[in-house]
Amino acid sequence: MKHVLFAAAVTIGIAGLAAGEAGATASPDKVATVVVHGFDPSGASTTGVFGNDQTTTYITEMAVELGLPTSDVDPTAPNQVAYTTYYGDQYPAYYTAQDIQDIQNITTTHGGGVPRYAAIVAKFAEHVMERSGAEQVNIFAVSFGGLISRYMIEKDVEGLASTDKIARWIAVEGVVAGNYGATYGGPVFEDFYEEQYGAPPIDLQHMDYEWVEANIHNPRQSSASPFLGEFPTHFWLASDDNFNERALTFLSGKANDGVVLTEDAKLTSLPPQSLYLGLEPTVSTMHTNHESTKDFEGIRAGVAAQLFGRKRVTITLEQVRVRNEFDGSARGDGEYVFGLRVFSPQAESLYGITNAIHQVRADDASIPFVRMAQDTTVTVNMTWFDDMVLPGETALRLQTNVDEVDGDIIYNISEALGEVYEDLADTTVEVNIEAPGTYTLETDDWRAVVGVTVTEYPPYDGTETAAQGWELYE
């Protein structure tokens, strides 16, 4: 089996910045990270104080691994990772009379739910900045927190977005555009969630597609908000649907992580005013289910790159050609999925993280298939990877995972009974992101042309600091 990589002489170079002015971003040592948690089993009926400092094991572990202090240990650190809850019925001590009135008015107007939770998170972010001197906050949202943080940003709750107080928005398997089960699951879904999680009805109501379209934006998977054009946005998708016996897959027929459809965990087709530097938000994928993302270290490495990095790498699968026949003549052209895993040598060096930072594969249906005949070159121009890289990263390691699909419920391919994937020869290669250009990947079974481009994000606002050279986080 041949595993050959040819680097073309043509260099694409560093991509220029798009027209328009993005908001300023403070140096990482002056930016706090506010975590917006997901769906809570005790839900909206929870009693106790909301909007106060809390901690959770996976957030603490992630912060420690990335070299950042947590708010429970150092509440005055400008680069702290702060975690709170938006559930509860008692006001925190730092609330003013006006804060209390604001929450009461929102609750009366909307009945609680997402608008109330968004206001609590926004007031907590303000509180974190006031006590620490942080100039901005990163909004790090998971699951239901994706919808809450989206509402907070697009509705400019507490003026955080319009006053340039948000440095970046990161959503991990977020219910960003609503939830399929909450919309179409019917009484069975509602009973399941109520029995398993004690789900408050208002949370399910606000995850409904119609609520999102009526209260945030229609179409729900897009946005017209100019605030999104002011800072980088990053989406993480989980794509392993082997959860709850694949109930969501059979219900929807779409790719999912067992709880959220992958298409609902991101925003797409944004208009120019909603694009940071004229670019769509980054989207990275992991082979893990909804409940397991918190323990997936590849996501931690990717989040570190999003928090600290200023270089965005885009790898495009431009052309493909399959040499050998994997579908017989009776079946016609083959359906090929060019899967990929991306590894960060810098993450391995700094953190000892050896997991992939991005993975798309056939059995997750996390990347489109290419229908093609043997020995025919097809132009694909498919984004294979598009995300930030860590400061100091000079190369990325690519490991292919190419399959011909004969049966898959989500791809709607039924040439064989059940789910059937035929492996093609694969290769592992390293691309130099300091010299972007065109590469050719080649094995005994297939050949592909891959393009690598790099976009430099604007420098951090203000004086150069150690954080820009990464020393602060080694």
- Phi and psi of 223, rounded to 5°? -160, 150
Q: Does the pLDDT of residue 3 top 60, yes or no?
A: no
Contact of 453 with 15, CB cutoff 8 Å: yes
- Residue 338 structure tokens: 């060019």
Q: What is the pLDDT of residues 162-211, one digit of tens each?
A: 999 999 999 999 999 999 988 987 665 666 556 655 555 789 899 999 99
Average pLDDT over residues 361-375: 94
- The vertex-50 CA angle with 122 and 98, nearest 5°, equals 60
pLDDT of residue 151: 98
Q: What is the pLDDT of residues 258-310, one digit of tens each?
A: 999 999 999 999 999 999 999 999 999 999 999 898 889 999 999 999 999 99
pLDDT of residue 231: 97
- The vertex-75 CA angle with 74 and 77, nearest 5°, equals 70
- Residue 402 structure tokens: 């190419």
- Residue 209 structure tokens: 């597609």
- Residue 236 structure tokens: 């993480």
Give the count of beta carbons closer than 10 Å to the beta carbon of residue 310.
17
Task: Indicate the pLDDT class of residue 463, thresholds 50, 70 and 90.
Answer: very low
Please state, rounded to an integer, the average pLDDT across all residues of the chain.
Answer: 89
Q: Does the pLDDT of residue 460 top 70, yes or no?
A: yes
- CA dihedral 87→91→97→99, nearest 10 degrees, is -30
Rounded Cα–Cα distance for residues 456 and 18 (Å): 11
pLDDT of residue 144: 96
pLDDT of residue 185: 76
User: b vs e for 149-185, b when ≥16 Cβ sit within 10 Å of the residue's Cβ?
Assistant: bbbbbbbebbebbeebbbbbbbbbbbbbbbbbbbbeb
Task: Indicate the pLDDT class of residue 2, thresholds 50, 70 and 90.
Answer: very low
- Region at 186 (left for phi over 0; alpha for psi -120 to 50; beta for the rest): left
Rounded Cα–Cα distance for residues 258 and 246 (Å): 6
| Closest among 48, 26, 72 to 167, alpha carbons compared | 26
Radius of gyration of the chain (CA): 23
Contact of 156 with 223, CB cutoff 8 Å: no
Q: What is the pLDDT of residues 103-141, one digit of tens each?
A: 999 999 999 999 999 999 999 999 999 999 999 999 999
- Phi and psi of 92, rounded to 5°? -75, 160
Q: What is the pLDDT of residues 61-70, one digit of tens each?
A: 999 999 999 9
Percent of the chain with pLDDT over 70: 88
Rounded Cα–Cα distance for residues 220 and 133 (Å): 35
Greatest CA separation for the chain:
75
Q: What is the pLDDT of residues 76-100, one digit of tens each?
A: 999 999 999 999 999 999 999 999 9
Which are the contacts of 175, defined by CB distance < 8 A and separation ≥ 6?
143, 144, 146, 147, 207, 260, 264, 265
